[in-house]
Amino acid sequence: MRILVTNCNTTQGMTAEIVRGARAAAGPGTTVTGLTPHWGPESAEGWLDSYLSAAAVIDALRTYQEPYDAVVMAGFGEHGREGVRELVDVPVVDITEAAAHLACLLGRRYGVVTTLERSCGQIEDSLELAGVGRNCAAVVGTGLGVLELEDAERTEAAFLAAAERVRAAGAEVLVLGCAGMTGLQRAVGEKLGMPVVDGVGAAVRLAESLVALGLTTSRAGTYARPLPKRRQWGRRP
């Protein structure tokens, strides 16, 4: 089984970290490959970055030539999943949606700890669109930018502080609200005494299940193939 994991930004080092986390979660026999957009923001933090990221990821997938059996979109709360589902003929699993669905199986209400506060509204909208917003107790930022997550000690401390706010809001399960946080669940889960769901791992496992069951995106309506027409794509740098 071949899973293609798309980073939502152009930072190669983050793609490598995401792929490491995805491979750790994948089952035997699953090959995980990372895809970094050719253009777009170095980190997705806000609406403008998110829309640019969506177009860049779609463009990267449009021109990707190697075979794959499923796509995992590793941008938490970022746009683009619906367009990718129209574009490709394999299952497409977004880490935001995957993490929330698994969290709903573990507790009545879940909460998300993410990076900057400016991303919270965007994540809330993404969860609502996916149909899992009703069970979300809170989305709380750590105050750290995406590229600041490399400092493991600082990230853990900020996460734990934000997690207490989420717990106080009624969350029974925590979700890592950024692909750059992958791996953090092992460090904080025991300290918090509650389940912590990593979206990358959740998405990989769900993608494997869909492929194994022979299921893929419905073409019956909403995600029908794009209409044939002329489309002008931007030039690569």
Least confident among 15-29, 68-82, 112-126, 186-200 = 186-200
pLDDT number for residue 149: 84
- Give one word for 43, left, alpha or beta, with left for phi > 0 and alpha for psi -120 to 50: beta
What is the CATH code of the structural domain delimited by 96-198?
Answer: 3.40.50.12500
Please report, for residues 13, 63, 92, 124, 129, the alpha-carbon distance to residue 209 in angstroms, rounded to integers and kept in the order given: 28, 26, 12, 26, 23
CATH 3.40.50.12500 in the chain is located at 2-95+202-212, 96-198
Q: Which CATH class is domain 2-95+202-212?
A: alpha beta
pLDDT at residue 236 tops 60? no
Report for 34-38, 114-118, 140-144, 150-154: range of highest mean pLDDT:
34-38
Q: In the predicted model, what is the mean pLDDT of the chain?
A: 94
pLDDT in tens, 51-108: 999 999 999 999 999 999 999 999 999 999 999 999 999 999 999 999 999 999 999 9
pLDDT at residue 21 tops 70? yes
